[in-house]
């Protein structure tokens, strides 16, 4: 039996290595992001919006986040669901997988990674410590080519709004190309008792792959800053993934 298990583990690693070496450069089924300039990210279940309402029994509930088109009557255009042993799976409304999101539990320098559903790593999000705080660098694939900087915004009304209880998070960042060109931003939606995040794309950012990567980063920030009660559940779901 041990020999069989070793064979299975070796085969699984070989499949993963083949996937990583295969040329997966794009997220599939994400063209819909080219039809909007503003999306929102929120937990589907309102009972989990408040970290104070999180209980061990909540772990048995399905964790699902909705990605909605704010310019089209808040229609859901994608969803992200926590799957045991896999991570956060982003799907289209037709159920087709678009992206897998995983945290890096044993690497304090990394926020996580965005993967093709194959799975194969497409982007990794590295922490960048500055005198003002922590920013993030989005690097592409195995080549570690930096393609985007995610910069924390400190001078804004959102920390004040969080402090006085008007909003649930002060998650405010600029998305910028490495040359400083602004691609968009992420901020909390000004809704009382909700940690909904808004991702805004600039009118000059037409690349749906970059937009999808921004959504992926937004989802990672959602489970680490806006909905920190979800992060332990994501870590638990990834315990047995190498």
* 10: exposed, middle or buried (Cβ count in 10 Å: 0-12, 13-18, 19+): exposed
Predicted TM-score of the model (pTM): 0.82
Which are the contacts of 175, defined by CB distance < 8 A and separation ≥ 6? 148, 149, 150, 182, 183, 184, 185, 186, 214, 217
User: Which CATH number is 25-237's, of 1.10.3470, 3.40.50, 3.20.90, 3.90.660?
Assistant: 3.20.90
* 192: exposed, middle or buried (Cβ count in 10 Å: 0-12, 13-18, 19+): exposed
141-144 contacts at long range (C-beta below 8 A, 24 or more positions apart): 141/25, 142/20
Q: Is there a contact between 208 and 215 (Cβ–Cβ < 8 Å)?
A: no
DSSP-assigned letter for residue 128? E
With b for 16 or more beta-carbon neighbours within 10 A and e for fewer, the 97-131 pattern comes to bbbbbbbeeeeeebbbbbbbbbbbbbbbbbebeee
How far is C-alpha 21 from the chain's CA centre?
23
pLDDT tens string, the chain, 242 residues long: the values are 455 555 555 545 555 555 555 568 899 999 999 999 999 999 887 666 554 555 545 554 568 999 999 999 999 999 999 888 888 999 999 999 999 999 876 778 899 999 999 989 999 999 998 887 789 999 998 768 899 999 998 755 444 444 434 344 568 999 999 999 999 999 988 755 568 899 999 999 999 999 999 999 999 998 888 877 777 777 676 655 55
Q: Is there a contact between 133 and 157 (Cβ–Cβ < 8 Å)?
A: no
């Amino acid at each position: 039996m041990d020999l069989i298990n070793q064979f299975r583990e070796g085969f699984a690693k070989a499949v993963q290595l083949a996937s990583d070496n295969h040329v997966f450069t794009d997220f599939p089924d994400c063209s819909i992001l080219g039809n909007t300039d503003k999306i929102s990210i929120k937990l589907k279940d309102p009972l989990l919006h408040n970290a104070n309402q999180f209980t061990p029994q909540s772990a048995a509930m399905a964790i699902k986040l909705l990605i909605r088109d704010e310019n089209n009557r808040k229609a859901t255009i994608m969803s992200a669901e926590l799957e045991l042993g896999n991570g956060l799976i982003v799907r289209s409304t037709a159920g087709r997988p678009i992206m897998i999101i995983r945290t890096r539990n044993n690497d304090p320098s990394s926020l996580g990674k965005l993967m093709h559903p194959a799975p194969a790593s497409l982007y990794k999000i590295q922490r960048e410590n500055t005198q003002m705080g922590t920013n993030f660098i989005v690097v592409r694939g195995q080549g570690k080519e930096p393609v985007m900087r995610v910069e924390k915004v400190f001078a804004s009304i959102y920390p004040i709004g969080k402090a006085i209880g008007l909003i649930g998070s002060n998650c405010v960042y600029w998305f910028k190309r490495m040359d400083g060109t602004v691609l968009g931003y992420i901020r909390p939606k000004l809704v009382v008792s909700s940690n909904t995040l808004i991702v805004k794309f600039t009118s000059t950012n037409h690349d749906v792959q970059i937009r999808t990567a921004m959504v992926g980063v937004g989802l990672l920030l959602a489970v680490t800053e806006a909905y920190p009660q979800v992060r332990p559940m994501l870590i638990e779901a990834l315990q047995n993934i190498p």
